[in-house]
């Protein structure tokens, strides 16, 4: 693992203060010459806009308290929140999402997501797949697939960026693995706080124009890598590493200080400190994601806050729902304002839903039978609700939607035909991105 360290000191969500770092995986930097440096820069793929922002809500959000309220259910099911009207006639959501309600014509709510494995992990929301009978190496995440099939969208910018930091519950912090596609398609993880961390053996972005200094730094690193015996494993990553290290585009995107203060305020404040064992309470992650897709990143994954509310469900909802409302609506509005709403898809969901019955601690427990999701942008047909649950919110009553059906839809929006696109597993066998029976949702893509 190559860490590009800087002088920035940041406090991670585990409470440990340490030097910031940008993890590039085992990126190869050995045996480089000036012509190879120039060739690596020239070999980048041409810019492209299609992208996906995958927002994972760790722990399982309470669907019947957010976007599928059950006002006709008994009190022990119904809960404390009240519905409000939205911009879409007949579509109501929780009163704690007023900003989302005001632009509901830009969202689609799926109330009948089924097929959850019940695992307390991000994996299914990032791959669409069950972990039963996985191929060797494991299923690749959506970001890895985008990296493999479409490559970099802009020179010097990684195709796949994972913004989820370390969490107390490790499976929630998964930013999306490369699986059988191999580490070349692992996510770039800027866990150290942004542009201040983009340094390499005292070579900062400002000095990367000095090729002699860059090569000297690489020589020193090559000696270290040779001693570790990792050189052979690094060769596949030379161009990606060089692109990242020689481009200021990524550093600009990661530096939120470059953003207008009024815009930053719209996303809402917060902290990168994790909420208990879950994700950070920081809607500015959504702003970072927007800046990254503007820079050419194909897929950005986010782990936002903590939603495993076995107790104090309504107290926690009053704290967390407005944070999601602020960050999510600011993201969607900005994508529309910039014209990226046709090219960037946004998906928001968790690994499962919550029980209809409110428990003795005023919480809701795990409920894999049905959950909800919100989709936006991607050039899709929005302003609708898809599917429904029964009177108690415990089962899909109409139009059940599998995780893989959502994946087929966002792949389609990204310009990838899931009927024909395949990626080879470790045995060289071509694998379809979703199982044959799952097609893009006609309600969204026509």
Report the pLDDT value the prediction gives residue 272, as an integer from 0 to 100.
82
229 or 331, greater pLDDT: 331
- pLDDT at residue 195 above 70? no
Q: What is the CA radius of gyration of the chain?
A: 22
Report the pLDDT value the prediction gives residue 252, as an integer from 0 to 100.
86
- Mean pLDDT over residues 183-204, rounded? 62
DSSP 13: T
Which of 5-14, 288-297, 352-361, 397-406 shows the lowest mean pLDDT across its residues? Answer: 5-14
75-113 in b/e burial notation, b at 16+ Cβ within 10 A?
A: eebbbebebbebebeebbbbebbebbbebbebbbbbbbb
Which of 80-89, 178-187, 379-388 shows the lowest mean pLDDT across its residues? Answer: 178-187
276-295 in b/e burial notation, b at 16+ Cβ within 10 A?
A: ebbbbbbbbbbbbbbbbbbb
- pLDDT at residue 4 above 80? no
**What mean pLDDT value characterizes the chain?**
84
Per-residue pLDDT tens over the stretch 158-182: 999 999 988 999 999 999 999 999 9
Question: How many domains does one find in the chain?
Answer: 1
- Mean pLDDT over residues 254-269, rounded? 92
Per-residue pLDDT tens over the stretch 338-367: 999 999 999 999 999 999 999 999 999 999
Report the pLDDT value the prediction gives residue 207, as an integer from 0 to 100.
47
Q: How far is CA 422 from CA 181, 182, 433, in A?
A: 11, 15, 6
With beta carbons less than 8 A apart as the criterion, state whether 347 and 375 touch.
yes
Report the pLDDT value the prediction gives residue 299, as an integer from 0 to 100.
98
230 or 133, greater pLDDT: 133
In angstroms, the CA 89 to CA 14 distance is 45
In angstroms, the CA 35 to CA 40 distance is 9
Report the pLDDT value the prediction gives residue 271, as an integer from 0 to 100.
83
With beta carbons less than 8 A apart as the criterion, state whether 359 and 53 touch.
no
Taking the CA of residue 267 as centre, how many other CA atoms within 13 Å lie in the half-sphere pointing to its CB? 23
Domain that holds residue 264: 3-445
Give the confidence band of 250 by pLDDT, cuts at 50, 70, 90: confident
pTM strictly above 0.75: yes
Report the pLDDT value the prediction gives residue 99, as an integer from 0 to 100.
98
Give the confidence band of 244 by pLDDT, cuts at 50, 70, 90: low
């Amino acid at each position: 693992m190559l860490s590009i360290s800087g002088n920035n000191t940041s406090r991670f969500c585990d409470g440990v203060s340490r030097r910031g770092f940008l993890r590039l995986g085992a990126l190869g930097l050995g045996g480089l010459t000036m012509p190879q440096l120039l060739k690596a820069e020239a070999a980048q793929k041409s810019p492209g806009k299609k992208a996906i922002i995958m927002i994972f809500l760790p722990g399982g959000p309470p669907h019947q308290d957010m976007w599928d309220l059950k006002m006709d259910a008994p009190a022990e099911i119904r809960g404390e929140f009240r519905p409000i009207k939205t911009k879409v006639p007949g579509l109501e959501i929780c009163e704690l999402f007023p900003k989302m309600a005001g632009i509901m014509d830009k969202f689609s709510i799926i109330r009948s997501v089924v097929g959850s494995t019940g695992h307390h992990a991000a994996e299914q929301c990032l791959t669409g797949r069950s972990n039963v009978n996985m191929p060797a190496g494991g299923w690749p995440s959506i970001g890895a697939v985008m990296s493999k099939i479409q490559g970099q969208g802009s020179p010097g910018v990684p195709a796949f960026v994972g913004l989820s930091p370390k969490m107390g519950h490790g499976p929630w912090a998964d930013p999306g693995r490369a699986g059988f596609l191999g580490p070349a398609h692992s996510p770039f993880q800027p866990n150290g706080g942004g542009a201040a961390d983009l340094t390499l053996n005292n070579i900062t972005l400002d000095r990367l124009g000095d090729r002699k200094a860059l090569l000297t730094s690489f020589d020193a690193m090559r000696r270290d890598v040779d001693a570790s015996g990792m050189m052979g494993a690094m060769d596949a990553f030379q161009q990606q590493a060089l692109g990242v290290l020689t481009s200021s585009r990524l550093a600009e995107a990661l530096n939120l200080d470059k953003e207008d203060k009024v815009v930053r305020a719209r996303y809402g404040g917060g902290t990168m400190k994790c909420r208990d064992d879950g994700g950070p309470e920081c809607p500015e992650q959504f702003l970072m994601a927007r800046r990254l897709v503007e820079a050419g990143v194909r897929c950005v994954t986010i782990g936002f806050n903590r939603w495993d509310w076995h107790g104090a469900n309504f107290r926690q909802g009053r704290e967390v729902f407005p944070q999601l409302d602020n960050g999510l609506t600011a993201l969607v509005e900005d994508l529309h304002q910039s014209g990226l709403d046709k090219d960037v898809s946004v998906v928001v969901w968790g690994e499962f839903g919550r029980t209809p019955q409110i428990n003795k601690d005023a919480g809701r427990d795990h409920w894999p039978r049905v959950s909800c999701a919100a989709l936006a942008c991607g050039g899709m047909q929005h302003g609708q609700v898809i599917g429904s649950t029964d009177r108690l919110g415990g089962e899909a009553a109409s139009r059940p939607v599998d995780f893989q059906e959502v994946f087929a839809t966002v792949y389609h929006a990204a310009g990838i035909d899931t009927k024909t696109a395949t990626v080879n597993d470790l045995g060289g066998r071509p694998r379809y991105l979703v199982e044959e029976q799952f097609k893009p949702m006609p309600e969204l893509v026509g």
